[in-house]
């Protein structure tokens, strides 16, 4: 399968029309970046990103693992969470942002990429097995999803996504939605 601009547009629209979490995700894309940048968010807002990362799978992610990750994240000192997010907001590179966020309990590279996407959806996109596999199936990535991905794996994935978004003149958020639907 070749990824084309029309395929991305069609699948992104399909996501908007069919995925049950779209409305709440779109609201978060519109409101969280400013809140995270200014520090005008609460503990529940930060925890929402972790919950979203796992729950977007709508039950396909093992429940016990999801709950354990959510519990581990909630056990982080909130000042540490705020500090990590502030450092990620100010980071000059994806690697710096990811490194700082992964200092938090329950935040691996994949969950950190979700935080990055909600910090700046124009610069970052979340990574997970589904999105990675869609790119691999399209011949845009060479190897299978590295479980778990490293920072350099994320940088490679992000560079590919940015390149595709530029080529198709679309937002990374639209590309994410298309990749999610392509992998379904």
* DSSP secondary structure string for all residues of 50-109: HHHHHHTTTT-S-HHHHHHHHHHHHTS-HHHHHHHHHHHHH-SSHHHHHHHHTTSTT--H
Please tell me the pTM assigned to this model.
0.96
Confidence label for 134 from pLDDT (cuts 50, 70 and 90): very high
Predicted local confidence at residue 47, as pLDDT: 97
What's the chain's length in residues?
184
Q: Is the pLDDT of residue 64 over 90?
A: no
In whole angstroms, how far apart are CA 75 and each of 11, 48, 70, 108, 118?
A: 37, 14, 9, 15, 21
């Amino acid at each position: 399968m070749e990824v084309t601009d029309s395929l991305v547009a069609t699948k992104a629209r399909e996501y908007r029309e069919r995925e049950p979490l779209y409305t709440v995700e779109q609201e978060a894309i519109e409101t969280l970046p400013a809140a995270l940048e200014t520090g005008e968010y609460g503990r529940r807002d930060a925890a929402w990103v972790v919950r979203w990362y796992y729950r977007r799978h709508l039950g396909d992610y093992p429940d016990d693992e999801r709950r354990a990750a959510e519990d581990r994240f909630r056990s982080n000192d909130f000042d540490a969470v705020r500090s990590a997010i502030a450092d990620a907001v100010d980071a000059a590179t994806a690697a710096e942002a990811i490194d700082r966020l992964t200092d938090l309990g329950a935040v691996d590279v994949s969950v950190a990429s979700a935080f990055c996407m909600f910090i700046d959806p124009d610069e970052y996109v979340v990574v997970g097995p589904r999105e990675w596999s869609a790119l691999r199936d399209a011949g845009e990535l060479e190897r299978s999803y590295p479980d778990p991905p490293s920072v350099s794996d994320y940088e490679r994935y992000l560079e590919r996504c940015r390149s595709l978004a530029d080529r198709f003149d679309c937002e990374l958020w639209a590309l994410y939605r298309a990749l999610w639907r392509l992998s379904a």
